[in-house]
């Protein structure tokens, strides 16, 4: 019990350190608070006029997609932060302390959750301003937000492993652009997948980000009336499909990231 408590305390202190950083590094605040708002407004007014959704409003459809994209990109903080700590030798310092072996990575991924809560809060505000509404109960809406945070958290563990394997923080950004962009755009985040060519459509249907967006739309009541039932299993069971991905990603990547953390050595 004492060990677990200490491990939690260690993780909390690492997360606390990352939070102090937010106050000192304006770029983080901008990417957590300002960029999402710009994206909401841009998509709502730039694409919003041109894209029609049968029986509903594009802005209602859009907001859940922007939520999904932004929280997934939030995982980049974990990767870049760990890579930076490694480059500067801070990981070596931590590893020479009698602290929990998993606290640094846990603390990092936990900070992403805090960033994402902030991001979701301002995005929801911006969404309300451009006409997005929650048409369901409080509990369903809460479940929608929790699902977004949970899925983003599982991606944080993937990025944690990436961050501990790359030679420099910049490489994390490259990796995230190469992987997260296709993952968030080849999906039903911004437009329904129906009109995509077959190969892309199948990818989009099985893409977990699509399931996250679909699940969130359902939980917020943003699926326009008269939308045909999805034909792909993941989109018929988006909550279940998302949860399966979350569990699998964490089960695979958390042990890998922690094992990697224990092994990473000073650049000799």
Q: Does 96 bind other proteins (CB under 8 A)?
A: yes
Q: Which is nearer to other proteins, 100 or 210 (CB)?
A: 100
Instruction: Give the residue, chosen from 26, 34, 42, 89, that forms a contact with other proteins under the rule CB under 8 A.
Output: 89
Count other C-beta atoms under 10 Å from residue 240's C-beta.
13
Report, in Å, the least distance between residue 121 CB and other proteins: 23
Nearest 5 degrees, angle CA 180-CA 182-CA 185? 100
Selected range binding other proteins among 15-23, 123-131, 204-212, 214-222, rule: CB under 8 A: 15-23
Distance of CA 49 to the CA centre of its chain: 27
Q: Does 4 bind other proteins (CB under 8 A)?
A: no
Q: Does 19 bind other proteins (CB under 8 A)?
A: no
Q: Does 88 bind other proteins (CB under 8 A)?
A: yes
Q: How far apart are CA 35 and CA 43, in angstroms?
A: 12
Q: Which is nearer to other proteins, 90 or 252 (CB)?
A: 90
Instruction: Give the residue, chosen from 29, 99, 113, 179, that forms a contact with other proteins under the rule CB under 8 A.
Output: 99
Instruction: Give the residue, chosen from 8, 17, 122, 252, that forms a contact with other proteins under the rule CB under 8 A.
Output: 17
Report, in Å, the least distance between residue 8 CB and other proteins: 12
The 133-172 site mask, x for binding other proteins (CB under 8 A), equals: ----------------------------------------
Q: Which is nearer to other proteins, 58 or 261 (CB)?
A: 261
Q: Does 20 bind other proteins (CB under 8 A)?
A: yes
- Residue recorded with tokens 């069971």: 237
Q: How far apart are CA 130 and CA 145, in angstroms?
A: 19
Listed residue (179, 198, 197, 181) closest to 189, CA to CA: 181
Tell me the CB-side half-sphere exposure of residue 26, using CA atoms within 13 A: 0
Helices 103-129 and 58-74: angle between axes, nearest 10 degrees: 160
Report, in Å, the least distance between residue 175 CB and other proteins: 23
Listed residue (199, 203, 202, 229) closest to 214, CA to CA: 229
How many of the chain's residues bind other proteins (CB under 8 A)? 25
Beta strands in the chain (DSSP E): none
Q: Is 56 helix (H, G, I), strand (E, B) or coil?
A: strand
Q: Which is nearer to other proteins, 25 or 177 (CB)?
A: 25
Q: What is the DSSP string of 175-222?
A: HHHHHHHHHHHSSSSSS-GGGS-HHHHHHHHH-HHHHHHHHHHHHHT-
Q: Does 94 bind other proteins (CB under 8 A)?
A: yes
Instruction: Give the residue, chosen from 24, 195, 199, 229, that forms a contact with other proteins under the rule CB under 8 A.
Output: 24
Q: Which is nearer to other proteins, 198 or 263 (CB)?
A: 263
Q: How far apart are CA 228 and CA 195, in angstroms?
A: 13
Binding positions for other proteins, rule: CB under 8 A: 6, 9-10, 13, 16-17, 20-21, 24-25, 88-90, 92-99, 103, 265-266, 268
């Amino acid at each position: 019990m004492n060990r677990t408590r200490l491990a939690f305390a260690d993780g909390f202190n690492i997360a606390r350190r990352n939070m102090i950083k937010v106050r000192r590094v304006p770029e983080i605040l901008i990417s957590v608070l300002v960029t999402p708002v710009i994206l909401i407004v841009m998509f709502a007014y730039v694409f919003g006029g041109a894209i029609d959704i049968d029986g509903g409003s594009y802005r209602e459809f859009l907001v859940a997609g922007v939520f999904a994209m932004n929280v997934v990109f939030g995982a980049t903080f974990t990767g870049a932060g760990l890579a930076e700590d490694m480059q500067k030798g801070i990981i070596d310092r931590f590893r020479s302390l009698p602290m929990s072996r998993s606290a640094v990575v846990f603390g990092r991924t936990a900070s992403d959750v805090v960033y994402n809560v902030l991001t979701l809060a301002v995005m929801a505000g911006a969404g309300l301003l451009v006409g997005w509404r929650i048409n369901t109960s409080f509990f369903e809406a809460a479940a929608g937000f929790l699902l977004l945070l949970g899925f983003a958290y599982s991606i944080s563990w993937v990025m944690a492993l990436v961050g501990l394997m790359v030679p420099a923080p910049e490489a994390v950004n490259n990796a995230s652009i190469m992987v997260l962009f296709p993952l968030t755009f080849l999906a039903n985040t911004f437009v329904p997948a129906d009109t995509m060519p077959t190969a892309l459509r199948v990818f989009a249907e099985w893409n977990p980000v699509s399931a996250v967006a679909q699940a969130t739309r359902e939980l917020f009541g943003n699926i326009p009336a008269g939308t045909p039932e999805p034909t792909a299993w993941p989109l018929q069971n988006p909550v279940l499909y998302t949860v399966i991905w979350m569990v699998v990603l964490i089960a695979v990547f958390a042990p890998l990231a922690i094992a990697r953390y224990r092994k990473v050595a000073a650049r000799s």
